[in-house]
A and B are shown apart, each in its own frame.
Chain A
Amino acid sequence: MVYEECVTHESSWDADEALTAVYTAHYTSLVRLGALLLRDTGTAEEIVQDAFVAMHGRWHRLRDPHKALAYLRTAVVNRCRSRQRHLVVVDKHTPRSLPDAPSAEQAALRTAETDRVIEAMRTLPEKQRTVMVLRYYGDLSEAEIADTMGISRGSVKSHAARATKSLRQLLEQNV
């Protein structure tokens, strides 16, 4: 009952109301998702902002906050992935320290354990890493990951399996 009411209410939102509501509920987690994929908060924020602007523009077609969230997630993941691919190309030509080297203060707040996991994640190919982030940070099901990334469920499975294998190896070594 309550849910029904809620849905009717939500679908009567105009684009501006939807923007504010979805922003309030999901902006932070989307930026964090982007930051995990890119390891660059500034760029992640830019990408998420662009996605919200795009969502606002097509609200008349989405008309549903759940769809809007799925749309945003897909937009953010796609943009992060293409940005990453670009960075890989750049990286090959210019060996450099990461632009987002965390400040000492931030680094101190991280536990050694997290450090190891994040370091290990960096060694993964882009698709495997994306699958892992969506699974463990996004808490998405295989089907949702497949939709978000535009790949088959079978590929999600195999990327996840390969990523798990490499991560386990790395993490066990380093203990």
Chain B
Amino acid sequence: MNENPNDSFDELMRRAMHEEADRVEPTDSLPEIQARARAQRRTTSRRPWVLTAGAAVVGTAAVIGAFTVLDNNTNTAGDSGVAAGPSTTSSASALPSSTAPQAGTSPSQAPLTEPPTAQATTVPKDRRGTPEPMGRGTLVPVYWLGDKAAVTPAPGATTKATPKVRLYRTWAKVSGRPAVEAVRIMTSKQSGDPDYYSLWRGAEINTVTRSSGTVTVDFKRLPTTKLNPETADVAAQQLIYTVQGALDDSSQQVQITQNGEAGARLFGQVDTSTPLSRAQAANVQALVWITSPAQGQLTKSMVTVEGTAAAYEATVNYQAMNLKTREVRKGYTNTKEGQKFTPFAFNLKLTPGPWQIEAFLISPADGSTTDVDSKTIEVR
């Protein structure tokens, strides 16, 4: 081979690949890797890293107020080690919505002067607000979809009800910006419970910012799945519940944008040209969910099952089955109050082996089993 052209070829290749590579700015995932590494180490106790914790809401109420940290989307590996602690309990409360100190934060985005087009409206910079503060080890709720239809129909009952999806909640410990991380889990991870899923998979979160009255969730990429109107609404609520939960504030509407533009038809159905409001819990939230034990948890023979339910006449039924010996335990318990979301708990004494625990309601209309939540656990 002759030297000269080869040199320039090498140089061209090197330059092009580095240039191409430099366009990639990975998001900081050290906390997530650490969490997964820890979970892996504990494989003996099989505790999934998504914590399903009963009253874990306590303790970690997010430190949210007004924030001054500006995010230029440069969560590169370098910064990760020095991610800000939960020190940003800053003083100012309401944000001035008109002043735009963040004018230069994203130079790569379209210039402000660009007129809004008919279909897509660029949300003005000054309305985008500021990102939430960084936190370390913040516990955030992540919502998932689960099918409300019966898994095991009661004998003799005909379940004609169409499967309707409902929201189920898990908890995750995150570092970084709580709402962004919560949405990232929702869009890219499995829930840890095989019955829960997310129709947001494949979407890519960009930023979550707040300004007076509105939370803007900007995506690099929105999900492309097309859904029926009913499911699409619940799936949209999945995002709203998750974001509001992470921000610990359910009063603010959520504006969904893609690369700063509002107006996309989410799931082919939901109009996002204006902010979306939180739906009533009774309409979207699962009526029964088990908060403890967690899916896959290893337990002793005495198991306390805890959960939340909004049950007709406060009655929650349960059934537990040893998947090996087919032994069955059945019963019912009461929630603190009927019709409203209130806690329930019951104790089981189980023989060793894999058990599936189901909590469910019985339809007053036709006696069928509805709103099942199930957990599979391993009893020592």
- In the complex, whether B27 has a CB less than 8 A from a CB of chain A is yes
Given known contacts A32-B21, A36-B20, A114-B16, A20 and B30 CB-to-CB distance under 8 angstroms: yes
Cα A15 to Cα B40 with chains together (Å): 12
Question: Main SS of the interface on chain B?
Answer: helix
Q: Which residue of B lies closest to A100 (CB)?
A: B221
Given known contacts A52-B33, A53-B36, A137-B18, A45 and B27 CB-to-CB distance under 8 angstroms: yes
Q: Mark A149-174, 1 if CB is under 8 A from B, else 0.
A: 00000000000000010011001000
- In the complex, whether B17 has a CB less than 8 A from a CB of chain A is yes
Cross-chain contact B40 with A56 (CB below 8 angstroms)? yes
> Which among B12, B109, B204 has the highest number of chain A CB atoms within 10 Å?
B12
Q: Which bucket holds chain A's interface residue count? A: 35 or more
Given A44, A49, A116, A137, which contacts B17 in the complex, CB threshold below 8 Å?
A137
- In the complex, whether B324 has a CB less than 8 A from a CB of chain A is no
Cα A28 to Cα B27 with chains together (Å): 9
Question: Main SS of the interface on chain A?
Answer: helix
Cross-chain contact A117 with B37 (CB below 8 angstroms)? no
Given known contacts A36-B20, A46-B188, A110-B23, A24 and B29 CB-to-CB distance under 8 angstroms: no
Interface size on B, residues (CB 8 A): 38
- In the complex, whether A109 has a CB less than 8 A from a CB of chain B is yes
In the complex, 23 of the A-B residue pairs with CB atoms within 8 angstroms, ordered by the A residue number, are A20-B81, A24-B78, A24-B80, A27-B26, A29-B21, A31-B26, A35-B24, A36-B21, A42-B188, A45-B27, A46-B188, A48-B26, A53-B33, A56-B33, A56-B37, A109-B23, A111-B19, A113-B12, A114-B16, A117-B13, A117-B16, A132-B17, A136-B14
B: residues with CB less than 8 A from A are 9-10, 12-27, 29-30, 32-34, 36-37, 40-41, 76-78, 80-81, 108-109, 188, 204, 220, 259
CB-CB nearest 9 A-B residue pairs: A117-B16, A32-B21, A56-B37, A31-B26, A137-B17, A27-B77, A136-B13, A114-B16, A28-B77
